[in-house]
Structure 1
Amino acid sequence: MAEQGQGGSHLAHVALTSFIGTTIEWYDFILFGVAAATVFDKLFFPALSPNAGTLASFATFGVAFVARPFGAALFGHFGDRIGRKPIFILTLLITCVGTLGIGLLPTYAAIGLWAPALLLMTRLMQGVAVGGEWGGAVLMVVEHAPPSKRGFYGAWPQAGAYLALALSNGAFYLVGLLPEEQFLSWGWRIPFLASVVLFFVGLYARRHVLESPAFRDVRESGRRPVVPLIQLFRTQKRGLIIGCASLGAANISFYVATVFILSYGPETVGISQKAVLSSIVVAALVAVPLNLLGAAISDRVGRKRLIIGGAIFTAVLAFPFFWLFDTGNPFLVGVALVLMVAVSSAVTYAPLSSFIAELFDARVRYTGAALSYQLAGTVLAGPSPFIATALYSKAGSPWVTAVYIMAGCGITVVALLPRWQKPERLGDVDHRGASRR
């Protein structure tokens, strides 16, 4: 059966292609978050107070997360009906168009309220495309991989997200070296416009990937559902709920540590924005190999066990993270970010791609995996910087934000502890790495 994996050379090519493509898509998506925390309040919401402008910027950042489930349902439908590969390419194109649009937008000073309105529209375009991207990138790898290595290969798209985090923060660090007037005038646009180069790299890589063997099996058997979304809700709602909740620890901690902290550091702690950006770049680069290592471990000890352990570790880290960060010492700030962004992600985020894919059978796997991931993004990830900022503004202390991170970890642990999951659906072969999640 094709479900059992593909040959080594093509599998390596698929993994690398997914890594490159996901890096490009998440570069575009994360770039907006960096800009929202550093410059969009000044360019698109100058009439508001600094705190209100930051909240408005984070609100536009969160809008994409509302759009992502719609993208997941739309592209999941076609991914389960016509194949993983066409959607794999289309989502890359749409994300690039949205990002270029942001780089070309007039600001509030030029066109008034039309500026934030257009910013919102381009962000929605990004959200819809990314809603379909993650599912396609993950399934192309996981469905090609042998059962004993699904965790490791499934983590390549996850690792790409961290390289994207490094690139997006690094890009803003570099343009931030410009004089402030030039940075606010045109410098901030460069990282967005540069994404067109990355798009052609990703397109070239993705064109030569073969269709997923699992989808080919479904197509040849004539078992494709007419409406995958309806089939999913009829037969696999349980997997959808578990998949969403499993992301609580990873999502909230990640966006607090990489978006909220960009405004919290300079405005509250007094550490320079460049120091925070450079620390995030270092943490993200460390996260790339650690994610691959964590996912490989999940092939040996099981996904569920590793994710639960990671959620507990992240909850324990929540208060020390802010204690270290609040020192304002650049080295300790770097340590805090490496622990939260790199180490925590290696055990909470890295195994999730294969874990979520294994919750659904191949007929509705694209829809189920994408929708699980993106609904969690809407409920847990997108609002995180806004909620963290609002909580801090209300309490005047980061302790309440630390509790917020712990709450996200609790969602994951509660969802995964009960043994009410059905056996995995991707192929009950590797009992350590698959069934015993």
Structure 2
Amino acid sequence: MHNPDTPPPVRPGARRAFVASLTGTALEWYDFAVYSAAAALVFGDLFFPSEDPFTGTILAFSTYAVGYISRPLGGFVFGRLGDVLGRKKILIATLVLIGVTTLLIGVLPAYDTAGIAAPIALVLLRFGQGVGVGGEWGGAVLLSSEFGDPRRRGFYASAAQIGPPAGNLAANGVLALLGALLSEDQFLSWGWRVAFLLSGVLVVFGLWIRVKLEETPVFKAMEAAQTRPEAPIREVFTTQPRALVASILSRIAPDVLYAMFTVFVLTYATQELHMSRGSALTAVLIGSGLQVFLMPLAGALSDRVNRRALYGCAVVAAGVWPFLFFPAIGGGSWPLLMIGVVGGLAIHAFMYGPQAAFIAEQFSPRLRYTGSSLAYTLAGIVGGAIAPVLFATLLGSYRSWVPLALYIAIAAVLSCAGVYLGRNADHSEDEEFERLNSVGSR
């Protein structure tokens, strides 16, 4: 047994797994974030032309939602395979899938060239992106956390959580650079495609890292002892329904808040406050850069304090922040916009950093890939998928920020319920699981 007063030793392969989880997820979220930013800035005009700019924006965000709606398919398929075939094989497959679909989006003709086929193809490729991301997250969390000590799961599992802000940082950085170097006509004509085509180079790098990594110790022990589940999806629904519900609800507020401060804030700042695209992207860029450091810090902090309590406090802050943010930026001040976006993303970091560990430890070790993937993807439908569409619809209908803030507050209430239903970490469960499987493999 480990003495809690001494630092736990770093397990073999833990650092490499941390880097592989972080880089691979960052690459996939670069692809996802490029699409999200493009949906807010250019897709409405290029693929959904309309006399009413809000109509085009809503349709563009509808394709953004498709990437969330398709995630459960990835969670069901790849989550099950991850518990049956292994973490490494599935993570390679998801990286290839999302890389190919993103490359194809980069060469997709616009509506004025291909007509109705253009938005249809865009939706189908976005669907493929979502399937890949749906299978990625659960495996990336386990890749790093199953190599690490269970008592430091908050820190090790945060590797996968750093991926979204790192990918968002890279995506918005590329788009901001292109926007600064190119004219408006050049950016709309071909500049945005460069960001998508860069994905090919990044995916090759990610595959190189993941192919060199070994399978996780937990899965190798399961395989040797022949304790892999035969029907993990059925087992999760029949034996761990409370864990699934708690995990789904706990994810809603982080998804909705993230959609506001990385996606819809671009639309709000440019269309409602009449600020430049570059200034709005810069604010998101700064907030995402801070998140890269805050998320592992929050994950590590959750290893030292009660993880549920830390998560719950951040959820409450998420529900309150919009009521401060929107009045502050009403005058169109960029410094206040930057402070508001950075504050919102900092709050998100203290939810999202511990979230991977919180969700993973709701499920038994042999069902964690399936359970985590299902929770992640199903929550995405009621969280991140509909958030930008609802934000745009509410703003277009009421021309006020109040419904937007109320929507985020409702999401926070639901996530508070999820944190309440969840359980605290049980490290003895992991230790007993590894001991029994080690005995069985002899």
Residue 47 of structure 1, CA deviation = 3.7
- Whether the 8 Å contact between 2:252 and 2:415 is mirrored in structure 1 is yes
Structure 2 partner of 1:379: 382
- Scaled by the length of structure 1, the TM-score of the pair is 0.94
Separation in 2, partners of 1:185, 1:429: 53
Check if 1:413 corresponds to 2:416.
yes
Aligned pairs for 1:15-414 within 5 A: 15-177=18-180, 178-341=182-345, 343-414=346-417
Structure 1 partner of 2:434: none
Residue 324 of structure 1, CA deviation = 2.4
Separation in 2, partners of 1:344, 1:424: 22
State the secondary structure of the residue aligned to 2:70. Answer: helix
Q: Deviations over 1:71-111 (max 9, x none)?
A: 00100111010100001111000000010010010110111
- Whether the 8 Å contact between 1:244 and 1:375 is mirrored in structure 2 is yes
- Whether the 8 Å contact between 1:100 and 1:192 is mirrored in structure 2 is yes
1:302 counterpart letter in structure 2: N
2:378 counterpart letter in structure 1: L
- Whether the 8 Å contact between 2:27 and 2:206 is mirrored in structure 1 is yes
State the secondary structure of the residue aligned to 1:105. Answer: coil
Structure 2 residue runs of 5 or longer lacking an equivalent are: 2-7, 432-442
- Whether the 8 Å contact between 1:360 and 1:425 is mirrored in structure 2 is no
2:243 counterpart letter in structure 1: G
Separation in 1, partners of 2:150, 2:123: 42
Residue 48 of structure 1, CA deviation = 4.9
- Whether the 8 Å contact between 1:147 and 1:427 is mirrored in structure 2 is no
Q: Deviations over 1:391-410 (max 9, x none)?
A: 11122110110111111111
Residue 426 of structure 1, CA deviation = 6.0
Residue 271 of structure 1, CA deviation = 1.3
Percent of pairs with identical residues: 37
Residue 327 of structure 1, CA deviation = 2.7
Relative to structure 1, is the Cα distance of residues 389 and 81 closer, same or farther in structure 2, using a 3 angstrom cutoff? Answer: same
* Alignment size in residue pairs: 424
Structure 1 residue runs of 5 or longer lacking an equivalent are: 431-437
- Whether the 8 Å contact between 1:360 and 1:426 is mirrored in structure 2 is no
Separation in 1, partners of 2:109, 2:72: 29
Residue 15 of structure 1, CA deviation = 0.3
State the secondary structure of the residue aligned to 1:46. Answer: coil
Q: Deviations over 1:331-366 (max 9, x none)?
A: 11110011001x202221110101111011122211
Separation in 1, partners of 2:9, 2:371: 23
State the secondary structure of the residue aligned to 2:366. Answer: coil
- Whether the 8 Å contact between 1:98 and 1:126 is mirrored in structure 2 is yes
Separation in 2, partners of 1:187, 1:226: 48
Separation in 2, partners of 1:344, 1:125: 30
Separation in 2, partners of 1:200, 1:73: 26
Moved more, 5-14 or 206-215: 5-14
1:238 counterpart letter in structure 2: R
Structure 2 partner of 1:433: none
Q: Deviations over 1:206-227 (max 9, x none)?
A: 1121111111222122122222
- Whether the 8 Å contact between 2:252 and 2:380 is mirrored in structure 1 is no
Separation in 1, partners of 2:419, 2:321: 20
Q: Deviations over 1:172-203 (max 9, x none)?
A: 11122211221121111000000111101101
Residue 425 of structure 1, CA deviation = 5.9
- Whether the 8 Å contact between 1:6 and 1:145 is mirrored in structure 2 is no
Q: Deviations over 1:213-271 (max 9, x none)?
A: 11122212212222211111111111111111011221111101111111111111111
- Whether the 8 Å contact between 1:34 and 1:169 is mirrored in structure 2 is yes
- Whether the 8 Å contact between 1:248 and 1:409 is mirrored in structure 2 is yes
State the secondary structure of the residue aligned to 2:362. Answer: coil
Relative to structure 1, is the Cα distance of residues 277 and 44 closer, same or farther in structure 2, using a 3 angstrom cutoff? Answer: same
1:330 counterpart letter in structure 2: W
Structure 2 partner of 1:434: none
- Whether the 8 Å contact between 1:80 and 1:365 is mirrored in structure 2 is yes
Structure 1 partner of 2:435: none
Separation in 1, partners of 2:382, 2:318: 19
Residue 329 of structure 1, CA deviation = 1.2
Residue 375 of structure 1, CA deviation = 0.7
Residue 6 of structure 1, CA deviation = 8.2
